[in-house]
A and B are shown apart, each in its own frame.
Chain A
Amino acid sequence: MSKVITRLLLGTAIAAATVTAAAAQDKNVKIGVLTDLSGIYADLAGPGSTLAAQMAVEDSGLKAKGWTIDVISGDHQHKPDIGANLARQWFDREKMDMITDVPNSGVALAVNNVVKEKNGVYINSGGGTSDLTNAQCTPNTIHWTYDTYNLAYGTGTALTKAGGDSWFFLTADYAFGAALERDTTNALKAAGGKVTGSVKHPLNSSDFSSFLLQAQSSGAKVIGLANAGGDTSTSIKQAAEFGISKSQKMAALLLFLTDVKSIGLDLAQGLSFTETFYWDMNDGTREFSKRFSARSKGAAPPTMVQAGVYSGTLHYLKALEALGGNPHDGAKVVAKMKDMPTDDALFGKGSIQPNGRKIHPAYLFEVKKPSESKTPWDYYKLVATIPADQAFTPLDKSTCSLLKK
């Protein structure tokens, strides 16, 4: 009898030991790119974000070291419920480890809660709302690329100081627009400007003429576009058509490379805006962009959002490698990611703050004149660099609960 028990115990011990060893050396990773595959942000994020994640997996070199890393993508259709459900399914059925991208702040916030509940890792690149690292921060979330504070601070402050001290906002009617308007209002008030009014438009509008006419009759010096993607490019085109851009300055608070292409340089020239990445910054960005556009749709170089997906995924994989295996414990991985300094060819050296905010320099760009643009996608002129420690919400002003000690 005692022999049997000894054998049983021994067997159990061996089994347990194998399981523990397997957990430490588990080299299976699943990455989900939750994005807009078919709507107005599909060009600035979408399939390009999936490609960026795949390239990060390839560049990490982990596959050669015996890791199995799967990248899958899903379409949230700009609906928070669909996005949150898809994320939930991914965790429950696919054993997903990390979710990235998630443009559209409304969806981004919904997914934020799911990832925390399931203890996954959430590297948001496409969403803008600064709430992700303030009121809504979690130990599982890193907000990688940009946020509304960062855009507001860069563009809002620069334009106000350049004399544009009265603003009228054209705001997309969802979480992102509201956050961007709020943060820009704070930034321009701090710089001595004032807001004369604002109008909310539905997401994905095709006609902005009536909103633009309201902006025009407000007499504000600057019309701040607190919207993104197709909405921004349509508003700028139509503002030119109604002769508004001659009398008032248009401020695209969030402008992507793909938007500039669809507006055309004729109308877009002179627009100033803030981004944290541009393909033609240095040798590193150019080298990556060359590889990226060889595989992307329409040979487009990466946008800021897609670059962020690459950079975030790469850092995530570095952290997993440092941990020696995938612990399938989101909070633990995120803590490791925060401990390690970030470094890649696209955003340079940086770090992740305790509230989950990844910081790196931001750039104030201006769209080139058609005569200055030498090659396809040669659109931006660097005006100023905002150092990493000033580009994002200062830690003492962050309302993130993780910061309370």
Chain B
Amino acid sequence: MSINLQALSAQLLVGLINGSFYALLSLGLAVIFGMLNIINFAHGALYMMGAFVAYFLLNLAGIGYWPALFLAPIIVGIFGMILERTMLQWIANLDHLYGLLLTFGLALIIQGVFQNYFGSSGLPYAIPDALKGGVNLGFMFLPIYRGWVVIFSLVICIATWFLIERTRLGAYLRAATENPTLVRAFGINVPLMITLTYGLGVGLAALAGVLSAPINQVRPLMGADLIIVVFAVVVIGGMGSIMGSIITGFTLGIIEGLTKYFYPEASNTVVFVLMVLVLLVKPSGLTGRTT
């Protein structure tokens, strides 16, 4: 089989773009799992809500893409914190399965409500004027917006990693997960920190939702389609590992791109094949700690 370098590099770049979404979403999941020990199945629904909030802001209040990039994660993050306060905190000490079932149920309810009101075929959300058009890279025509998505999500990923692994606040958070009683003894409000962390994770999902609104249509099921892949990414990267999920997110996007070039029919399954292989060889994931 002869390799068309032009098409191959184009697919790699497209893979990188998809990888940005995987990374942003799996990062949020990793933050939530790492700090709260909750497998957040509602992540896809919250991602979808982010896109819808951006859509509402534009169509009901005339607020455009740039403010939405900040407002939507905050609004959805607050919604997430309400969820945490009213429901998730009561099951924090139970088996993972309870959290999984609760969030899965929440996801179905949220999706159902949106589907009931907005149907399933998607609402259009235009690319902001400043990012319209594209650059001809020689081997492909790169829409500026997609380039922006890659760069912006990289920045956000690194900032989040820095916040949790390298700052005092992050140190408190990590300590609070490790030994909540002790951290509380130092006068730190642990439940508040946990709520804020959930809000942060949810905000990341909503941010990914806003980023994807102009590319994919704003659809109630947009998250449901993506969440399964993202979970596979988290499992491969290692549950709860921040850096692991970022790197795995981007890498898997690229691997998927390669598969689309060499054998398109397998592009939907390659992530899961990798997941099985990783689980067989290293059950805690590529960068996960064994507990």
User: Measuring CB to CB, which residues of chain A are less than 8 angstroms from any residue of chain B?
Assistant: 38-44, 46, 173, 199-202, 204, 206-207, 209-211, 213-214, 217, 229-230, 233-234, 237-238, 241-244, 258-259, 261-264, 266, 297-298
Given A237-B217, A241-B127, are A230 and B134 also a contact pair (CB < 8 Å)?
no
Given A206-B225, A241-B127, are A213 and B14 also a contact pair (CB < 8 Å)?
yes
Given A206-B226, A210-B257, A213-B140, are A262 and B127 also a contact pair (CB < 8 Å)?
no
Q: CB-CB < 8 A to A229: which residues of B?
A: 121
What's the nearest-Cβ distance from chain B to residue A283, in Å? 28
The residue that B121 contacts in the complex, of A201, A230, A238, A266, with Cβ under 8 A, is A230
Q: CB-CB < 8 A to A217: which residues of B?
A: 4, 6-7, 10
Do B265 and A200 have beta carbons less than 8 Å apart?
yes
Q: CB-CB < 8 A to A263: which residues of B?
A: 124
Bound-state CA distance A266–B125 (Å) is: 12
Bound-state CA distance A237–B212 (Å) is: 13
Do B127 and A210 have beta carbons less than 8 Å apart?
no
Do B260 and A241 have beta carbons less than 8 Å apart?
no
Do B260 and A233 have beta carbons less than 8 Å apart?
no
Bound-state CA distance A274–B217 (Å) is: 24
What's the nearest-Cβ distance from chain A to residue B17, in Å? 7
Q: Mark B1-45, 1 if CB is under 8 A from A, else 0.
A: 000101100110011011000000000000000000000000000
Q: CB-CB < 8 A to A209: which residues of B?
A: 14, 17, 146
Bound-state CA distance A39–B222 (Å) is: 11
B268 within 8 A of A: yes
Bound-state CA distance A249–B226 (Å) is: 30
Q: Mark B123-150, 1 if CB is under 8 A from A, else 0.
A: 1101100000010000011010110000
The residue that A242 contacts in the complex, of B4, B120, B143, B257, with Cβ under 8 A, is B143
Q: CB-CB < 8 A to B257: which residues of A?
A: 210
Q: CB-CB < 8 A to A38: which residues of B?
A: 115, 120
The residue that B120 contacts in the complex, of A43, A199, A207, with Cβ under 8 A, is A43
The residue that A173 contacts in the complex, of B17, B122, B265, with Cβ under 8 A, is B265
Bound-state CA distance A111–B36 (Å) is: 47
What's the nearest-Cβ distance from chain A to residue B115, in Å? 6
Do B225 and A262 have beta carbons less than 8 Å apart?
no
User: Measuring CB to CB, which residues of chain B are less than 8 angstroms from any residue of chain A?
Assistant: 4, 6-7, 10-11, 14-15, 17-18, 115, 119-124, 126-127, 134, 140-141, 143, 145-146, 215-217, 219, 221-222, 225-226, 257, 260-261, 264-265, 267-268
Of all A-B residue pairs in the complex, the 8 with the closest CB atoms, nearest first, are A210-B260, A43-B121, A264-B124, A42-B120, A43-B119, A262-B122, A243-B141, A209-B14
Residue of A nearest to B17 (CB): A209
Residue of B nearest to A241 (CB): B143
Bound-state CA distance A209–B260 (Å) is: 10
Q: CB-CB < 8 A to A244: which residues of B?
A: 141
Do B14 and A210 have beta carbons less than 8 Å apart?
yes
Q: CB-CB < 8 A to B119: which residues of A?
A: 42-43, 258, 297-298
What's the nearest-Cβ distance from chain A to residue B15, in Å? 8
Residue of A nearest to B7 (CB): A217
Do A207 and B261 have beta carbons less than 8 Å apart?
no
Q: Give me 18 A-to-B residue pairs in the complex whose CB atoms sit less than 8 angstroms apart, sorted by A's number.
A: A42-B115, A46-B120, A200-B265, A206-B216, A206-B222, A206-B226, A210-B11, A210-B260, A210-B261, A210-B267, A211-B260, A211-B264, A230-B122, A233-B217, A243-B134, A259-B121, A262-B123, A298-B119
Given A209-B146, A229-B121, A234-B216, list of 13 further CB < 8 A pairs? Answer: A40-B221, A41-B120, A42-B119, A206-B216, A206-B226, A207-B14, A210-B14, A210-B260, A211-B260, A233-B121, A241-B145, A242-B140, A263-B124
Bound-state CA distance A242–B146 (Å) is: 10
Bound-state CA distance A99–B69 (Å) is: 47
Among A42, A211, A262, chain B packs the most CB atoms within 10 A around the CB of A262
Bound-state CA distance A264–B214 (Å) is: 12
Do A258 and B216 have beta carbons less than 8 Å apart?
no
Do A44 and B225 have beta carbons less than 8 Å apart?
no
What's the nearest-Cβ distance from chain A to residue B204, in Å? 19
Bound-state CA distance A40–B216 (Å) is: 14
Among A202, A230, A241, A258, chain B packs the most CB atoms within 10 A around the CB of A241
Bound-state CA distance A206–B225 (Å) is: 8
Q: CB-CB < 8 A to A210: which residues of B?
A: 10-11, 14-15, 257, 260-261, 264, 267
Do B7 and A214 have beta carbons less than 8 Å apart?
yes
What's the nearest-Cβ distance from chain A to residue B7, in Å? 5
Residue of A nearest to B119 (CB): A43
What's the nearest-Cβ distance from chain A to residue B6, in Å? 7
Q: CB-CB < 8 A to B225: which residues of A?
A: 204, 206
Q: CB-CB < 8 A to B226: which residues of A?
A: 206
Bound-state CA distance A41–B122 (Å) is: 11
Q: CB-CB < 8 A to B127: which residues of A?
A: 241
Given A199-B264, A210-B261, A241-B127, are A230 and B120 also a contact pair (CB < 8 Å)?
yes
Q: CB-CB < 8 A to B267: which residues of A?
A: 202, 210
What's the nearest-Cβ distance from chain A to residue B43, in Å? 16
Bound-state CA distance A217–B139 (Å) is: 10
Bound-state CA distance A44–B270 (Å) is: 32
Among A41, A199, A242, A297, chain B packs the most CB atoms within 10 A around the CB of A242
Do B134 and A242 have beta carbons less than 8 Å apart?
yes
Q: CB-CB < 8 A to B11: which residues of A?
A: 210, 213
Bound-state CA distance A44–B268 (Å) is: 26
Q: CB-CB < 8 A to A243: which residues of B?
A: 134, 141, 143
Among B17, B121, B221, chain A packs the most CB atoms within 10 A around the CB of B121
Residue of A nearest to B220 (CB): A38
Bound-state CA distance A237–B213 (Å) is: 12
Bound-state CA distance A266–B226 (Å) is: 27
Residue of B nearest to A41 (CB): B120
Bound-state CA distance A207–B13 (Å) is: 13
Q: CB-CB < 8 A to A41: which residues of B?
A: 120
Bound-state CA distance A21–B17 (Å) is: 70
Do B120 and A40 have beta carbons less than 8 Å apart?
yes
What's the nearest-Cβ distance from chain A to residue B211, in Å? 13
What's the nearest-Cβ distance from chain B to residue A230, in Å? 6
What's the nearest-Cβ distance from chain B to residue A345, in Å? 26
Bound-state CA distance A206–B122 (Å) is: 11
